[in-house]
A = this chain, B = another copy of it.
């Protein structure tokens, strides 16, 4: 288009493919960057390339990391006997933010999805079973989608042969949530998983 330098159009096009960014936001970002100092833009460009060059997957848990093993696997204070199995590294970060889990993680790197051609062999499932020796409890913390439920079912069936407890995250009304606005499926799960109020 007349009036728009090609380099701007290119940045716009590349950024509009980012998750959650449309064409207009992409243009605003292109202008924002154009008005930043050259060294700032170079720092951003370098940080992007570093994402690809410095990040690997931990050989133990498959979580993203800059060192081997990752800082969770390498932390002697984390409990080896409890292992939380998740779909991807985003889930590890979310759980770490809750500061309520002191065990270790295992990142599958996806979910079983026959429609997308993803089978158990494409996930870090063998690696999971190789590290079960010290483990007393496996928490399967996988989203309740079709693929998630398939994966959970597959794992729990295999784990039955091991002398350990298999658990999943509780489903229920989120903290701060409102009964009135909670969907039926969540309400059903919340009722099903109701807990006794202790007599004091």
Contacts and interface: CB of A to CB of B under 8 A. Distances in A.
A115 interface: no
Nearest to A4: B93
Contact of A93 (B3, B29, B50, B71): B3
A158 interface: no
A71 B2 contact: yes
Contacts of A97: 1
Contact of A3 (B3, B10, B43, B96): B96
A52 B39 CA distance: 9
Interface stretch (A11-19, A141-149, A171-179): A11-19
A90 B43 CA distance: 25
A34 interface: yes
- Chain A: interface residue count, which band? 35 or more
Contacts of A8: 51, 55, 64
A9 B1 CA distance: 36
A191 interface: no
Nearest to A50: B7
A46 interface: yes
A173 to B, nearest CB: 22
Interface of A: 1-8, 10-11, 14, 18-21, 25, 27-34, 36, 38, 41-55, 63-66, 70-72, 75, 89-90, 92-93, 96-97
The 5 A-B pairs of least Cβ separation, nearest first, read A45-B45, A3-B96, A5-B66, A38-B52, A7-B50
10 contacts: A2-B71, A3-B70, A3-B93, A5-B54, A5-B65, A6-B66, A7-B54, A14-B47, A19-B29, A45-B45
